[in-house]
Amino acid sequence: MALALTVFFIFLSVGLFIGAKKLLGERGLSFVSRALSWIIYVLIFIIGVGLGGQREVLDRFGWIGLQSLLLALGACAGSGALILFCFGRGKTQERDGL
């Protein structure tokens, strides 16, 4: 576990350094963005295959979907309420530096 975290933070630190110093240039960042999208698609596919292989998960899929929907709706409602609380309704204020 400690080795995995160490490797994670080393790769993260190297990536942050390369990004902060702009060592890849515009073409390199464009490539990284496209590669990251495809890596995410592959990971989602692998998760789907893993979930599809578990019969118990498939049997409870309707309930899990309902819970996920309620959680997403609650998160959206909470975010909207917090925005209204922080910024008020219909108020537009000019702020320095924003």
- 96 sits in the region (left: phi over 0; alpha: psi -120 to 50; else beta) called beta
29 Cβ contact partners less than 8 Å away, ≥ 6 residues apart: 19
Residue with more model confidence, 30 or 1: 30
Q: What is the dihedral of CA 28, 33, 35, 41, to 10 degrees?
A: 180
> Which single residue is written with the structure tokens 């692998």?
46
- pLDDT score recorded for residue 16: 92
pLDDT digits (tens, 9 = 90+) for 27-45: 988 999 999 999 999 999 9
The first and second tokens of residue 58, run together, are: 């498939």
- Which amino acid appears at position 41 of this protein? Y
Residue 98 has pLDDT above 80, yes or no: no
pTM for this model (two decimals) = 0.52
Residue with more model confidence, 55 or 45: 45
- pLDDT score recorded for residue 4: 93
In percent, the amount of the chain with pLDDT more than 90 equals: 40
Q: What is the mean pLDDT of residues 49-54?
A: 84
User: What would the DSSP string read from start to end of 69-90?
Assistant: HHHHHHHHHHHHHHHHHHH-SS
